[in-house]
Amino acid sequence: MSMLKDIQKVFFSKEELEAIARRLGSQISRDYENRNLLIVSVLKGSVIFMADLMRNITIPCKIDFITASSYHAGTESSGNVSVTDDLSVKDVHGYDILIVEDILDTGRTLQKLSDIFARKGANSVTICTLLDKPERRDKSVKIKPTYIGATVENEFVVGYGLDYDQKYRNLPFIGILKPEVYDNTNAQEETH
Ligand code: IMP
Ligand code: MG
């Protein structure tokens, strides 16, 4: 059965998401000219955005992937973040790292990843997030995203990489699910 029956409302259409990738891609291409850009996609949520964004970046760059996991209960993140699959680049010295993320919620995941890359000696670490939920930011979080696709209210969104219970990532747009689809009772280890 189609996933579309579970969607309550579309927030960002395919065309709007393409426009975001174009805007941020050209901004990044300007800002990183003559630098040593390494784009790090946080799996799995950022894959679709990453694929669109990198095709809009016109300067030479390398790409890499990292997997961060945290214990989730339904739609709430606990803040216990760990790296489960590390970069294939072993020495980040000299790289200007741009972390590409699907959504910045409490910010704990990106705080942790930024700290790790800075400690390992990256030349610089900046963040490009497709969506930002500033209202949800944890007080302990100090990082600020340099590139933001769009800001969203405190609502749980799915599609274009973003999941609920690992599903709906393959929707070509971003939207919210009908309330009856959410079941917050399932605690689980979740890959972002
Ligand atoms: P943070 O560490 O709380 O910032 O968690 C960010 C991660 O939580 C994202 O990479 C997503 O995997 C997940 N997340 C937060 N908000 C949403 C949402 O609205 N929809 C889907 N996933 C979300
Ligand atoms: Mg997720």
| Residue 35 burial class via C-beta count within 10 angstroms: exposed 0-12, middle 13-18, buried 19 and up | middle
* Residue 45 CB less than 6 A away from ligand 1: yes
Question: What does the pLDDT average to over 39-64?
Answer: 98
Residue 188 pLDDT > 90: no
Using DSSP, state whether 83 is helix, strand or coil.
Answer: strand
Ligand 1, residue 133: give the atom nearest the CA: 16
Residue 44 pLDDT > 60: yes
Catalogue the E-assigned strands of the chain: 7-12, 37-43, 62-73, 76-85, 96-104, 124-132, 147-151, 157-158, 174-177, 187-191
Looking at the DSSP assignment, which residues form a beta bridge with residue 97?
A: 38, 125
124: region left, alpha or beta (phi > 0 left; psi from -120 to 50 alpha): beta
- 103 alpha carbon, closest ligand: 1
11 C-alpha to ligand 2 centroid (Å)? 18
Lowest-confidence region among 26-40, 76-90, 104-118: 76-90
- 185 band by pLDDT with thresholds 50, 70 and 90: very low
- Give tens-digit pLDDT for 86-134: 899 999 999 999 999 999 999 999 999 999 999 999 999 999 999 999 9
pTM: 0.92
User: Which residues neighbour ligand 2 (ion) by CB within 5 Å?
Assistant: 163, 192
33 C-alpha to ligand 1 centroid (Å)? 30
Q: For residues 80 and 91, which has the higher predicted lDDT (pLDDT)? A: 91
Report the distance separating Cα 158 and Cα 10, nearest Å: 10
Question: What does the pLDDT average to over 63-88?
Answer: 81
Q: Supply the pLDDT for residue 5.
A: 96
Report the distance separating Cα 71 and Cα 7, nearest Å: 25
Q: Supply the pLDDT for residue 77.
A: 62
CA contacts within 13 A on the Cβ side of 160 = 28
Contact assessment for residue 36 and residue 61, using Cβ atoms and an 8 Å cutoff = no
Ligand 1, residue 105: give the atom nearest the CA: 4
* Residue 108 CB less than 6 A away from ligand 1: yes
Ligand 1, residue 111: give the atom nearest the CA: 2
Q: Supply the pLDDT for residue 1.
A: 80
Structural domains in the chain, CATH included, are 14-70+79-155 (3.40.50.2020)
* Residue 113 CB less than 6 A away from ligand 1: no
Output the average pLDDT for the chain.
93
| Residue 104 burial class via C-beta count within 10 angstroms: exposed 0-12, middle 13-18, buried 19 and up | buried
Residue 53 pLDDT > 80: yes
